[in-house]
Amino acid sequence: METKNAAGRKEKQIILASASPRRRELLALMGLTFQILPSEKEEIVTGSTPGEIVENLSFQKAEDVTARLPWTVREDGQEPDAIVIGSDTIVVCDGEVMGKPHTQEEAFAMLHRLQGRSHVVYTGVTVMCRAADTITYDTFSESAVVTVHAMDDAEIRGYIAKGESMDKAGAYGIQGSFAVFVDRIEGEYNTVLGLPVAALYQVLKRYL
Kindly name the residue from 88, 133, 138, 152 that is annotated as catalytic: 88
Q: Residue 88: what are its φ and ψ, rounded to 5°? A: -150, 150
In the residue annotation, 88 being an active-site residue is answered as yes
Q: Are strands 82-93 and 35-36 parallel, antiparallel or unpaired?
A: unpaired
DSSP string, 76-106: TS-PPPEEEEEEEEEEEETTEEE---SSHHH
88, 52 contact by CB (below 8 A)? no
Measure CA of the first residue to CA of the last residue in the chain; give whole Å.
Answer: 18
Which active-site residues does the annotation give? 88
